[in-house]
């Protein structure tokens, strides 16, 4: 069997250890001539067999042949990478070699960097849309901080889309599947003038779902999404090229309903055709009984400009990008249609409770990267650059839940009824209380980086890189109980003080002040050094050591408790 470089990309290994980040590699031997695959894993076009990085590549042919509906469907094709889809794209994440960041908090950043056409995404869930027209997906395993930098401590998923062609072409791809699922994708590409090539890609997809909700008599776990992406490839001068990308994407996904019910009993008479009495598991895993629909509303607008200018054999690259991402999640947390209807106390032994969540969020991202690259193929190759990244996030999260049968709530009810005997206040399953948390963060990142290769002997090269990073974080938080009497529910907790939220063990958790704000910043210097031995045109052995100097960077996770 012929060993192609595409297969070789799946075989090259790079082991990454924790702590300082020790990386080693092993050669893959082959005696056959390999087809050339060009990648941009190190931000310049290179033959994959000469790139000293643990790298896997999916080509456009592989992606199209997989009939994938999103990036999460490609994990079976990429070794050591998992695409974890949550019940909202905001909670979806990428992991490389089991390392990744999955967090409810907006104060946490991903450890796997997701890059689309040179633009770093603030959250990997932003890439969990449609695949549009992809040229390739490159997965770099292990720390990539000296070149990619932002959020690249565990790896990089580098997504490259197809550029406009210089000849007119187009296609319409309409696919139909069972359960009334369809996907439409159309693309037109070609020259507008002798200096401008352009392309427009449209997509529309809809799926009604495959889970029957017996409460609404509708199917769920489907999607409805539309998008448009326009690209303009402009040859401004003989030595200057400009790539402009405009994107708009909207999705309404009623995913992902949990197929797990609660224990059936007399106080909660669930439909026996839907749930198994006692075990709480759906009989055929295809029906739910939910009165609140789990869904995600997702909207993205994006604009980027990439300018490449050559000065002799040197290349200067600038990428400026602005992205807006609005994401709202609705979550059914009690998994039934009858919780919240009964006038019985909630004591958790045999009585359920209502639990519904709504969480809208807005992200606004601005990034600027500039790089200068030396000529390729020289004894000494290098790249230096600077990076600026700023993202503002505003979110609120509301939980509606049944009033909880506790001593504190009993006292609240007793005091209220004593003050007004006609009130008749209770604290039962059908008494719904709520709380809302409001929180915002602003991340600002500055970085300067450089990476190089020195071929000091035949087939032997010294690898080295250095990066200076400064991160600044500002945060605000406010939470309030929306019940006019201050009753508490399941997940609707009493207020806590600033000091308690910030980790002060001496704080009084009964204080009612939940307004706090603050800021933190860190600087870090990281570097790598290694050796590359090009055994032959098809085989390579390399080893690199990556280390961090100074304080380890860690972003404080903001705990927002309702």
Rounded to whole angstroms, how far apart are CA atoms 202 and 73? Answer: 20
Is the distance from CB of 200 to CB of 172 less than 8 angstroms?
no
User: What is the Cβ-side half-sphere exposure of residue 290, based on CA atoms within 13 angstroms?
Assistant: 31
Whether residue 151 contacts residue 445, with contact meaning beta carbons closer than 8 Å, is answered with no
| 179 Cβ contact list (under 8 Å, min separation 6) | 207, 208, 209, 210, 219
Band (pLDDT 50/70/90 cuts) for residue 18 is very low
Q: What's the token pair of residue 485?
A: 């009497």
Residues 44 and 376: beta-carbon distance below 8 Å:
yes
Query: In the prediction, which pLDDT does 91 show?
Result: 64
Sort strands 55-59 and 13-16 into parallel, antiparallel or unpaired.
Answer: unpaired
Burial (CB < 10 A; 0-12, 13-18, 19+), residue 349, is exposed
Q: Confirm if 30 and 57 have CB atoms less than 8 A apart.
A: no
Residue 163: per-residue pLDDT:
93
Q: How many helices (H) and strands (E) does the chain have?
A: 4, 28
Q: Are 489 and 403 in contact (CB under 8 A)?
A: yes
Q: Tokens for 37?
A: 């695959």
Task: Read off the pLDDT of residues 378-403 as tens digits, 9 standing for 90 and up.
Answer: 899 999 999 999 999 999 999 999 99
CA dihedral 174, 179, 180, 182 (to 10 degrees): -30
User: Can you tell me the distance from the alpha carbon of 295 to that of 299, in angstroms, rounded to the nearest whole number?
Assistant: 13
Q: What is the pTM of this model?
A: 0.80
Tokens 């450089």 belong to 450
Residue whose tokens read 């190190």: 42
The pLDDT value recorded for residue 242 is 97
Band the pLDDT of 535: cuts 50, 70, 90: confident
Written as six digits, the tokens of 280 are: 């709480």
CB half-sphere exposure, 443, CA atoms < 13 A:
26
CATH class of 5-161: mainly beta
Check pLDDT > 90 for residue 317: yes
Residue 77, pLDDT > 70, answer: yes
Measured in residues, the chain has a length of: 562
Mean of pLDDT over the chain: 77
pLDDT digits (tens, 9 = 90+) for 469-514: 999 999 988 888 899 998 998 878 765 533 433 444 444 444 445 7
- Report the DSSP beta bridge partners of residue 314: 311
Q: Which residues contact 56 (CB under 8 A, 6 or more apart)?
A: 9, 10, 78, 79, 81, 138, 139, 141
Highest mean pLDDT among 72-86, 469-483, 524-538: 469-483
Whether pLDDT at 263 is above 60: no
Domain residues of the chain, as ranges? Answer: 5-161, 255-529
CA atoms within 13 A on the CB side of 345: 8
Q: Which residues contact 142 (CB under 8 A, 6 or more apart)?
A: 14, 16, 21, 23, 53, 54, 96, 97, 154, 155, 546
Element (H, E) at 310: strand 295-311
Q: How confident is the model at residue 406 (pLDDT cuts 50, 70, 90)?
A: confident
**φ, ψ for residue 526 (rounded to 5)?**
-125, 155
pLDDT of residue 86: 61
| pLDDT score recorded for residue 115 | 87
What is residue 33's predicted lDDT score, i.e. its pLDDT?
41
pLDDT at residue 74 is higher than 70:
no
- Cis upstream peptide for 204 (omega within 30°): no
**How many angstroms separate the CA atoms of 7 and 28, rounded?**
11
């Amino acid at each position: 069997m012929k060993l192609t470089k595409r297969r070789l990309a799946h075989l090259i290994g790079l082991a990454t250890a924790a702590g300082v980040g020790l990386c080693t590699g092993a050669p893959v031997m082959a005696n056959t001539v390999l087809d050339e695959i060009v990648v941009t894993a190190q931000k310049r076009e290179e033959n994959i067999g000469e790139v000293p990085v643990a790298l896997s590549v999916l080509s456009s042919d592989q992606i199209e042949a997989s009939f994938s509906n999103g990036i999460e469907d490609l994990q079976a094709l990429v070794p050591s990478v998992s695409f974890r889809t949550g019940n909202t794209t905001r909670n979806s994440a990428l992991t490389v070699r089991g390392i990744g960041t999955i967090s409810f908090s907006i104060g946490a950043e991903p450890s796997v960097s997701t890059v689309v056409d040179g633009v770093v995404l603030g959250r990997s869930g932003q890439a969990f849309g449609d695949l549009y027209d992809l040229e390739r997906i490159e997965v770099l395993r292990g720390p990539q901080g000296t070149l990619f930098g932002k959020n690249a401590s565990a790896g990089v998923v580098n997504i490259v889309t197809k550029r406009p062609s210089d000849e007119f072409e187009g296609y319409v791809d309409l696919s139909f599947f069972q359960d009334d699922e369809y996907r439409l994708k159309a693309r037109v590409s070609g020259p507008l003038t002798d200096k401008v090539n352009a392309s427009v890609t449209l997509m529309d997809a809809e799926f009604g779902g495959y889970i029957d909700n017996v409460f609404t008599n509708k199917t769920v776990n489907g999607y409805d999404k539309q998008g448009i992406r326009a690209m303009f490839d402009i040859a401004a001068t003989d030595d200057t090229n400009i790539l402009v990308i405009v994107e708009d994407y909207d999705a309404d996904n009623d995913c992902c309903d949990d197929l797990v019910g609660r224990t059936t009993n007399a106080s909660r008479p669930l439909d026996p055709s839907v749930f198994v009495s006692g075990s709480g598991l759906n009989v055929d895993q295809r029906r739910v009984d939910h009165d609140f629909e789990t869904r995600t509303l997702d909207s993205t607008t994006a604009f980027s400009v990439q300018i490449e200018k050559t000065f002799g054999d040197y290349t200067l690259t600038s990428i400026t990008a602005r992205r807006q991402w609005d994401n709202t999640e609705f979550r059914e947390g009690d998994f039934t249609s009858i919780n919240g209807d009964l006038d019985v106390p909630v004591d958790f032994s045999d009585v359920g409770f209502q639990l519904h969540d709504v969480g809208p969020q807005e992200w606004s991202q601005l990034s600027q990267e500039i790089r200068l690259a030396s000529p390729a193929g020289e004894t000494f190759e290098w790249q230096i650059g600077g990076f600026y990244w700023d993202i503002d996030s505003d979110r609120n999260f509301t939980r509606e839940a049944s009033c909880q049968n506790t001593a504190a709530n009993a006292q609240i009810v007793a005091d209220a009824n004593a003050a007004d005997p006609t009130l008749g206040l209770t604290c039962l399953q059908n008494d719904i209380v709520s709380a809302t948390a409001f929180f915002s963060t602003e991340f600002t990142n500055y970085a300067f980086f450089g990476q190089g290769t020195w071929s000091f002997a035949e087939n032997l090269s010294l690898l080295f890189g250095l990066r200076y990073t400064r991160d600044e974080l500002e945060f605000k938080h406010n939470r309030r109980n929306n019940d006019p009497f201050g009753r508490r529910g399941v997940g609707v907790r009493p207020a806590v003080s600033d000091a308690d939220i910030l980790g002060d063990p001496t704080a009084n958790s009964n204080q009612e002040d939940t307004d706090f704000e603050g800021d933190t910043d860190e600087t870090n210097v990281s570097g790598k050094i290694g050796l590359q031995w090009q055994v032959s045109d098809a085989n390579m052995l390399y080893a690199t050591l990556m280390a961090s100097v100074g304080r380890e960077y860690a972003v404080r996770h903001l705990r927002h408790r309702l």
